[in-house]
Structure 1
Amino acid sequence: MTLKEDVDAAVVDMAKEWSVVTQQSGSTSVPDTDTLVGTSAKKILATYLYTDIKNSSGLMKVSPAETVASVMAAFLKISVRIIRHYDGHIRSFDGDRVMGVFTGPDRQSRAATAALKINYAVRTILEANIQSQFGSIHRSNWNLQQMTGIASGDALLVKVGIRNNADILSAGIAPNLAAKLSDLRLSNSAIATAIGKGTYNSLNDSAKLSKGVNMWTGPYSIGICQGG
């Protein structure tokens, strides 16, 4: 098959009908590349969490590639372990960004708690260790910070790609909003987690209050799609 024929085949596939199944709202499972095949698709009610390193390009300017890789790998390992601890499912990596998907009861609160734990681990554990371990970072003005975005709602999950190179695509406002929130670079650099209004309204007290005081500020208008 020629390249032109490959491209034409991909365009023809665009018109195919998805065989959509709606997941029960109480289920905590999330489809993966093994459970979605062909034109099968699953609609889920989920909370999406995206987290990544702020100013990773600044790290690349002051440190060798080996150091950059070590810092990013440590950040991703910490994030993945915390997300999984709160029963989130890892469904995507993109550079130093990771996406977690939470379904089932208390999904918004579990995602928010995971985000707060990631920020705590980065600020109090990982940052101190990389400053002491890597001279290039210690000699620079670069500090490790992260930003996490969370949003909730319906999403349609489908399998994309080709054999041995497949991934799960999440289509919906929730994953889109969570990704955009994780890209925010606010004037108040102390803000490391941004959540959608719908997510905030569904938080339980343990994810909303600290010693009886609301941990969250807002709401804010940030000029992107509302919801989540």
Structure 2
Amino acid sequence: MNDSPIGTHPDFIALEGTVTTQNHYACTLFVDIKGSTRLSVLYPLDIVFKFKNAVIQTCVEIIRSFDGHVHRLMGDAVMAFFGGNSTEKEDAVADAINCSITLRVILEESIKPWMEQKGLDAKDFGFRVGCDFGDDHEVLWGSFGYQNVGEVSATGLPVDMASKLQGLASKNQTMLGQGLLDFVNWPEKYSQIKTRDKGGVQENLPVVTPNLTDNEGTPIDYVMRQLSYSKSLEFSALPRSFRERITEGSVKAHSQINFKCFTLINGKRSQYISASKFLDPNISLVFEVEARTSNRLNFPLKVVFKKTNHGKAVPDNERDIEQKEQVKYIQKKPISQHIKSIAPFPKVELNEATLYRGLHTMKCEVYEDDGALLFRDWIGVMIR
């Protein structure tokens, strides 16, 4: 359980009050509450305080649940770092992205209804998230200030950009920076170029503005992309029935059907939670679908698997393209030759393996014998 206090990251406490600095990567996340200032005009301050504190506390708990470290509260904003001495760089990015997705889910599906129940005007409420990654040579940790008027923090372009990205994010959106996008080969499918209306014309904003320049006055064109929330929910590890409701049917849950992924490492089989961490290359994977027979499902069930590989290392004729489906059938079968009772959870398996760096997905659809779609879901596999 992550119950670290706010303030100095536990891995850099030794820097407090010293002139020592340390290069170490960081995945930085900024969350800002949008529209809360107006509440101070509309409602008594004690009510405004309770609301703001409820949102801040929610952000803090979600960040910590994904192993993030809350660095600072700044009015209506929260600054957090992901990663540390015992966390792989790629996993810090995975945690930050999953945190961003979950933040939106909770703030939209829980905080807004709570506001309405309390009689608060929720129409202007929202949030903005900025997130970026900086590698060891790009981030420097040190003790800023002096004595009891200071803090240990990180500096570097990717850290500063996370704040700028938050400021450039649209309402209820997450902006991802170039450092993060490039480091893990984040797929274009799960992000998009931000647009804005300018004089009735849609204008693309592919880079951070205002555009910074280098020593020679050349614009650095720091790339930014808006996280595609609806598409990312497809591979999220949030409960399937919940995702079905908020994805408007893209995900289709069924209480009697389950879809899982397992890794096989040195003969040990372990469940891999969708997009939860990065796996090494050349690891055996098993995708498993099982169905309960003690119901009215019309067997045999047709199971259709479709994988999509992303990333720069994927061959051009395969990259970002849903591959040819692989079909298997779940049959009702006796437990054994000697026991005529039907196996309660018949299943099918598909063998795969990790190969290309980046995020990849396996889509699974299950059809009843009459062709009716019963189930649809995705599992995201991250490979370092």
- Which residue number in structure 1 is paired with residue 140 of structure 2? 156
Is the Cα contact below 8 Å between 1:47 and 1:152 reproduced in 2? Answer: yes
**TM-score (structure 2 length as normaliser):** 0.44
- Are 1:216 and 2:204 counterparts? no
CA distance in 2, matches of 1:68, 1:163: 34
- Which residue number in structure 1 is paired with residue 126 of structure 2? 145
- Are 1:200 and 2:175 counterparts? no
Q: % of aligned pairs identical?
A: 21
Q: Secondary structure at the match of 1:82?
A: helix
- Which residue number in structure 2 is paired with residue 73 of structure 1? 53
Is the Cα contact below 8 Å between 2:29 and 2:162 reproduced in 1? Answer: yes
Q: CA deviation at 1:59?
A: 2.3
Is the Cα contact below 8 Å between 2:129 and 2:169 reproduced in 1? Answer: no
Q: CA deviation at 1:85?
A: 1.2
CA distance in 1, matches of 2:23, 2:148: 24
- Are 1:96 and 2:76 counterparts? yes
CA distance in 2, matches of 1:201, 1:67: 43
Report the CA distance shift for 1:100/1:30 in structure 2 as closer, same or farther (over 3 A): farther
Report the CA distance shift for 1:151/1:204 in structure 2 as closer, same or farther (over 3 A): same
- Which residue number in structure 2 is paired with residue 130 of structure 1? 115
Greater relative CO (CA pairs within 8 A, separation 6+): 1
Report the CA distance shift for 1:30/1:60 in structure 2 as closer, same or farther (over 3 A): farther
Q: Secondary structure at the match of 1:143?
A: coil
Letter in structure 2 aligned against 1:156: L
- Which residue number in structure 1 is paired with residue 156 of structure 2? 172
Flag the structure with higher helix content: 1
CA distance in 1, matches of 2:16, 2:55: 29
Q: Secondary structure at the match of 2:133?
A: strand
Q: CA deviation at 1:55?
A: 2.5
Q: Secondary structure at the match of 2:60?
A: helix
Q: Secondary structure at the match of 1:183?
A: helix
Report the CA distance shift for 1:78/1:222 in structure 2 as closer, same or farther (over 3 A): same
- Which residue number in structure 2 is paired with residue 58 of structure 1? 38
Q: CA deviation at 1:62?
A: 1.8
Q: CA deviation at 1:102?
A: 1.1
| Count of residue pairs the alignment pairs up | 187
CA distance in 1, matches of 2:70, 2:223: 23
Letter in structure 2 aligned against 1:115: S
Letter in structure 1 aligned against 2:79: M
- Which residue number in structure 1 is paired with residue 356 of structure 2? none
Q: Secondary structure at the match of 2:31?
A: strand
Flag the structure with higher strand content: 2
Q: Secondary structure at the match of 2:113?
A: helix
Provide the aligned C-alpha RMSD in A: 2.6
- Are 1:113 and 2:88 counterparts? no
List per-residue Cα deviations over 1:149-184 (Å, max 9, x = no partner): 001113212223344443223211111100111112
- Unmatched tracts of structure 2, length 5 or more: 1-8, 195-205, 213-221, 225-384
- Which residue number in structure 1 is paired with residue 21 of structure 2? 41
Q: Secondary structure at the match of 2:180?
A: helix
Is the Cα contact below 8 Å between 1:122 and 1:144 reproduced in 2? Answer: no
